[in-house]
Amino acid sequence: MFCVVTGDSGHVAVVSRGRVTYSLLDPHRGLIWGVSCPTVRFCMAVGDAGAWVWDGSRWSRTVHVPMEPNGFQTVSCTSARFCALGDQDGGISTLLGRAWHYYPLVTLNGSSSSELDTIGQMSCVSAHYCLAVSLAAGRWLTFDGSSWTVHGSFEGPQDTGYTPTMLTCPSQGDCVAASTNDVLYELTGASWHRLGYLLRQSVLSRLIESIAPTPAVSVSCPTRFACVAVDGGGNAYVGHPFTGIDRADASSQEGFHS
């Protein structure tokens, strides 16, 4: 078993062969926001102070990655030769081979920095296809191997709880995104479709969540019909469509409802 977990105060934990190794990446204890591990011998972690690489035995700082002063929010790697890093100032850095490239997304489609804001989530299928979601406007962006394209937004800005911020793409043009209030979306080709909700809730409950969203849903789909999602209430969901499994009682299940 091999897993890498990020945490507050600049730490990451590597779980390998039954051992847990903790490392302090950022001595200033800035947040480590994300990590991506395409193999057990290569991971990239990103945070407020930049990016770090795992080589199978230790972490080292990536010093040549272009970044804005506020650091990175998300990362997705398909191999040691390709990674995409979204920063907190509306830009994306990509590693292709040994060369870094920086894309200031505010220059695309006449968008302003206030519209694009932070790159919230990113998922790369290969060096020729990535998809990202911005937080402020909920825009989605695609990478074709050489450039990024900004597309339209989802249902609203992040502070209403509707913008999909958790993202997974099992294949090119096929992605699942989840918002902060349990709404699921699916991308097929070039169109997003609203799948529904993970949890069965009343209209009043959803109105309250739209005003004060619960912690975001996280979803991962290694294949199109094999997904696992978790919500802020500690529930896990498997399959596609999803079946609910409560963490406290794995025998209790409820179906997915739109």
Q: Is residue 202 part of a domain?
A: yes
Cβ-based neighbours of 236, under 8 Å, separated by 6 or more = 228, 229, 230, 244, 245, 246, 247
Q: Is residue 243 part of a domain?
A: no
> From residue 176, how far is each of 40, 133, 164 by CA, in Å?
25, 12, 9
- Cβ neighbours of 124 (radius 10 Å): 23
Q: Is residue 50 part of a domain?
A: yes
Structural domain tally of the chain?
Answer: 1
DSSP-H helix ranges across the chain:
113-116, 203-211
Question: Does residue 17 come out as left (phi exceeding 0), alpha (psi in the -120 to 50 range) or beta?
Answer: left
Q: Which two tokens stand for residue 191?
A: 């169109």
pLDDT at position 220 is 84
Report the distance separating Cα 122 and Cα 124, nearest Å: 7
- Per residue in 204-243, pLDDT (tens digit) is 655 665 565 555 567 888 887 788 877 666 677 787 666 6
Q: Is residue 45 part of a domain?
A: yes
Q: Is residue 209 part of a domain?
A: yes
pLDDT, averaged per 10 consecutive residues of the chain (258 residues), comes to 83 90 87 92 93 94 85 94 90 92 72 61 95 81 91 61 75 84 79 73 58 65 80 70 49 32
Is residue 147 helix, strand or coil?
Answer: coil
Domain that holds residue 134: 2-221
Q: Is residue 244 part of a domain?
A: no
Q: Is residue 121 part of a domain?
A: yes
Q: Is residue 49 part of a domain?
A: yes
121, β-bridge pairs? 133
116 φ, ψ (degrees, to nearest 5) = -90, -45
93 φ, ψ (degrees, to nearest 5) = -105, 135
- Per residue in 120-138, pLDDT (tens digit) is 889 999 999 999 988 777 7
Contact predicate 31/48, CB 8 Å: yes
